[in-house]
Structure 1
Amino acid sequence: MSDQKTDSQHYDIVVVGSGNAALCAAISAREEGAGVLVLEKAPEHKRGGNSYFTDGAIRFAYNDFQDILKLMPDVTDEEAEKIVMPEYSPSAYYEDLMRVNSGKSDPDLSEQLVNRSYETIKWMKGHGVKFELNYDNQSFEKEGKFHFWGGLPVKTENKGIGLMTSLFKRIEELGIEIWYNSAAKQLMKAGDRVTGVVVEKEGQSLEIYASSVVLACGSFEADKQMRSEQIGDEWEAAIVRGTEFNTGDGLSMALDAGAEKFGNWAGCHSIGTDANAPKVGDFTKPGDIYKKHSYPLSIMLNKEGKRFVDEGADFRNYTYAKYGREILKQPDHVAYQIYDSQVRPMLRKEYDLEEATFFQADCLEDLVDQLPVDKVEFLKTIEEYNEAVQSGNYNPTVKDGKGTEGINPPKTNWALPIKEGPFFAFPVTCGITFSFGGLRVGSEGEVIRKDGGPLEGLFAAGEMVGGIFYENYPGGSGLMSGAVFGKLAGESAAKYSRLIQK
């Protein structure tokens, strides 16, 4: 196959998008010998898709701590001796996927994600991606040892910024061409086969022919109209946590070409984020700095002074992606996370950033006086919660069963009375990350037509793969899914290109 494009308008493979999934697809296709063009709608300084904004946590299966140490040669023996690391087997990962998605995840896609996760992590390391232990968000120190929990002990070095910096560096090393300010508008077809992409580049319409096309340009979370139509009218009010350029273009192009819709189109990944966060992702302040994910140690109240979720139902990894929409349902789409000084030192680092919005007072009455809420109901709810807290051993490293009795909703774990000042209130709203609806994708990353056959020449990866996440999401699975299915789509596209060029 050609080392580079054969002429100014033809490539072996065109990859649409430049996030984690897209670049993994481009790199794996290049490994197979394909000439690759990457198309990115955004300008260069806003490249990287949603991946640029993540905190880098990535969920994969591993047998034991030795598997993790193979990814991080800089961890010393002395450091390793202070770490308590539970195993996270493929079966545990699969069970987590099925449990948090109410058993709706496509079994074949889920097995691929789980079973290819560790080999893909090693592959990423081989292409220059660096990993580190996720001390800040996934461990607690106890008696001189760091106890990890939740199946998510690893993140990419320097968060999503570091991940994308490494992948773009590798793209450059491999000589893969990227066009910025280049929006894919339409898939070209010859009969039932995709043969290229119509691109709008700096005001000019171009036809780019390709032996195969990989779509990895995200979902529709940045398009208000599509959010309203697919998820619900209230979602127009949601903050867009990531890139403003994920407006469903790839999904629309694929559906117009005959692809089958698949997955949870009425669902999305959303979180509780700072009420004063930017309305779209700010590329000058990336790194997922506005999220507020220590809520299992809090109680959350709305403006009417009512609690509305079981904050301690599970580790935050398994509830945060569905609790965002619960906040969106509250009056003015706002809630308040309440903490006292017993737990304040345990909160994640995002609570200490200068961007964090919060209120503080030495007594609860003074705290509530600062908030635009029903003060009587707010204080009454806190009092009722305090009286409902049961005895037990408080331990945030496990589901400790220290809960409440006699209130609804209950708090199942990590319930402490809110009684030691000073007290803190962090206002949060809903931020949407990506929508769960996508395309039906086969075992080799190929896009499937409405009649069940493959849409020849078209492959998809990342957020565009439907059927994995339903209503909820195990933390860190998005980056892993992007890498697994990106690598797979690139390989498959290259093999297909070789086949039709013979």
Structure 2
Amino acid sequence: MKPFDAVYEVIIVGGGNAGFSAATTAAQHGASVLVVEKAPESDNGGNTFYTAGAFRYAFKDLEDLKPILHDVDTGRKGLSEDLLKRVDVQGYPEDAFTKDLMRVTKGRSDPRLAEKLVNESRGAIQWIADNGGKFVLSFNRQAYETKDRFFQFWGGMVTMFRGGGKELVKWHVETAKKNGVEVWWSTPALQLISDEESGRVLGVEVLKDGRKQRIQAEGGVVLACGGFSADPALRAQYLGPGWDLAHVRGSPFNTGDGHRMARQLGAKTAGNYSSCHSTCWDAGSPRNGGDRVLTNQFTKSGYPLGLMLNLDGERFVDEGFDLRNFTYAIFGVEVLKQPSSKAYQVWDAEGASWLRKEEYADEVTTNIRAESIEALAEKLIPRGLTNKDKFVETIQDYNEAVEVFTAEHPDLKFNPAEKDGLSTQSSKKRLALAKSNWARPLTKAPFTAVEITSAVTFTFGGLDVNPDTAQVMSDTTRQPIGGLYCCGELLGGLFFSNYPGGSGLTAGTVFGRIAGAHAAESRASWTQQFQGARL
């Protein structure tokens, strides 16, 4: 075997939330750790950088959260008593998390992975907090403010990392370096190096400064380099026709390297290769990668407050069948199916008043406004609307259905923080495609439309792992491949067709910590098996 150029005890491939969770954990277990990242430092963070920094995890109640919470504006630890009196935060027990996960994945999530994710979720958040990470109540994304300044949180996910994905990445890099982790930017991993007799992974070959280098890993290699969301050919191959045309929401460097390297060693795949997390996205966004300034602000998740119509002027989803946390990752799939893979989100003045400024402010997106639905349709014709009359008819028919339902159910009140039952389906009039909740008429001028498309966040198919160790399984022996671990978006079997919002970052930290700890603890077995093989 060719000699190695350098030796570390644990090597992490990929520098996002999962990779750095693994790296810092391995270092805290006493290992020497190297992170190799394909992207330059100026593009660091993987998909994590482009997120809102929201984590879904089980917790008892607000008292359980107080030790980790910080002030949104100042960053100081703790919340004022006045603010605490004006928030409604319901606990999110483990069984509720499990039910949500199983419900949105239609029962297909690997129960072993699901159990590990849920049971370890609160501990993962505490680990971040104990290492200086700052969590805040997600007022802007997960709460609606009433007229008396009372904040009602909803959907089970109530906190986010202060500053979002950008600050989460910054914290991860700083924390890793404080713990002695070395980081090589602009260093793509080329292939894994394994022992010819045992098959154990011994290290990784990388391209650093234009030269191939062989780096030894005595404890193991952790693959945390994402899925294939940024590779058009692989998207078309696995997700199907048309997916090569979808926008890329996050990192342009997630091109399936981990799949390729692991499969060369016979790794077993798992999960939903024909599906992905795909969201409604601003049609004016960059096509092949996220914007480092606006990042998550291109998300367009205000559809429960209005309607979505395609270029033919027809609705194509039930905008209110569930809370936004449980639909935004699948509605991008539906947008992709529409003519030209585009659609319009539409609100009246009342609905638009509830939209989040970070997604819908005039400096963030192009808001098309008009004083009537007919005039709005006219303005959309140059933007691709093919049937103005159908557009107007669809909204008028919807308004009539809402009015009939409201007259039949006068006691129901609009509440965007829960399924309020305001529907289009009454005993006297029913739409072919319902809006099941938050159905209010679009009648108050001005009327607003935003043009959207579909963007891929991450792919669901990945590598099969042992949930207890995060070791990658062999497709040949159905046993763990020695010295090889996986975490983050490359891990398969957890999400199918859909996922509960915020669970991706949590899974990255949970399984990243598992992988990092186990790889660090595996140094002793390497020394016994490969005595004398060190540089």
Same fold (TM over 0.5): yes
| C-alpha deviation, 1:253, in angstroms | 0.4
CA distance in structure 1 between the partners assigned to 2:292 and 2:115 by the alignment: 37
**From 19, 22, 25, the counterpart of 1:25:** 22
1:461 and 2:458 correspond:
no
Q: Which residue matches 1:337?
A: 345
TM-score by length of 1: 0.97
Pairing partner for 2:285 from 277, 280, 285: 277
SS in 2 for 1:463: helix
Alignment partner of 2:298: what SS? Answer: coil
Give the superposed CA RMSD. Answer: 1.3
Q: Which residue of 2 aligns with 1:499?
A: 525
Aligned match of 1:4: none
For 2:371, the equivalent position in structure 1 comes to 362
Structure 1 residues 313-392: aligned runs within 5 Å: 313-349=321-357, 350-372=359-381, 373=385, 374-389=387-402, 390-391=405-406, 392=412
Q: How many residues align?
A: 497
Letter in 2 for 1:116: E
**Post-superposition shift, 1:79?**
1.1
2:43 to 46, 57, 75: 46
Give the SS at the match of 1:288.
helix
Percent identity for Structure 1 against Structure 2: 42
Per-residue deviation, residues 181-201 of structure 1 (Å, max 9, x unmatched): 111011111031000101112
Which residues of structure 1 form unaligned runs of 5+? 1-6
CA positional deviation for 1:328: 0.4
Q: What is the aligned counterpart of 1:120 among 120, 124, 142?
A: 124
Please point out which of 233, 245, 253 is paired with 2:253: 245
For the pair 1:397 / 2:417, whether they are aligned, the reply is yes
Q: 1:171 aligns with which of 168, 176, 180?
A: 176
- Partner-residue secondary structure (3-state), 1:129: coil
Q: After superposition, where does 1:386-465 map in structure 2 within 5 Å?
A: 386-389=399-402, 390-391=405-406, 392-405=412-425, 406-442=430-466, 443-450=468-475, 451-465=477-491
8 Å CA contact 1:161, 1:286 repeated in 2: no
Distance 1:283-1:293 versus aligned 2 partners, 3 A rule: closer
Q: Does 1:146 align with 2:139?
A: no
TM-aligned CA deviation for residue 345 of structure 1: 1.1
Q: Secondary structure at the match of 1:62?
A: coil
Contact 1:128 1:167 in 2 (8 A): no
Q: Alignment partner of 2:261: what SS?
A: helix
User: Retained in 1: the 8 A contact 2:230–2:289?
Assistant: no
Q: In structure 2, how many angstroms separate the alpha carbons of the residues matched to 1:318 and 1:396?
A: 14
Tell me, yes or no, if the aligned pair for 1:297 and 1:343 is still in contact at 8 Å.
Answer: yes
8 A contact 1:275–1:357 mirrored in 2 = no
Match of 1:225 in 2: 233
Pair 35,252 (structure 1): closer, same or farther in 2 beyond 3 Å: same
Give the whole-Å Cα distance in 2 for the aligned partners of 1:353 and 1:424: 11
- 2-structure distance, mates of 1:395, 1:274: 26
Tell me the residue number matched to 1:482.
Answer: 508
What's the offset of the Cα at 1:353? 5.0
CA distance in 2, matches of 1:129, 1:61: 18
| Contact 1:52/1:286 (<8 A) preserved | no
Match of 2:532 in 1: none
Q: Deviations over 1:433-485 (max 9, x none)?
A: 00000000102111110131000000010001100100001000111010111
Partner of 1:79: 83
CA distance in 1, matches of 2:524, 2:454: 46
Structure 1 residue 287 displacement after superposition: 3.5
Give the superposition deviation at 1:283: 4.9
| Cα drift, residue 500 of structure 1 | 2.0
* AA of the residue aligned to 1:104: R
Name the counterpart of 1:204: 211
- Structure 1, residues 402-430: CA drift from partner, whole Å, max 9, x if none? 00021121000000111110000011000
What do residues 229-272 of structure 1 show as CA deviations (whole Å, max 9, x unaligned)?
00012101100010100000011100111110100011100000
Amino acid in the other structure paired with 1:292: K
- Rounded to whole Å, the distance in 2 between the matches of 1:282 and 1:250 is 21
Instruction: Write the letter of the residue equivalent to 2:141.
Output: N
Give 3-state SS (helix, strand or coil) of 2:112's partner: helix
**Contact 2:67/2:78 (<8 A) preserved:** no
2-side partners of 1:124 and 1:314: how far apart? 30
Q: How far did residue 84 of structure 1 move?
A: 0.7
Deviation at 1:355, TM superposition (A): 2.2
Aligned counterparts of 2:363 and 2:65: Cα–Cα separation in 1:
33
Give distance in 2, aligned partners of 1:396 and 1:286: 25
Indicate if the aligned counterparts of 1:61 and 1:89 stay in contact, CA closer than 8 A.
yes
Counterpart CA distance in 2 for 1:140 and 1:54 is 21
Closer, same or farther in 2 for the Cα pair 1:375/1:327, shift >3 Å? Answer: same
Which 4+ stretches in 1 moved above 6 angstroms? none
Q: 2:157 matched to 1:137?
A: no
- Normalising by structure 2, we get a TM-score of 0.91
SS of the aligned residue for 1:37 comes to: strand
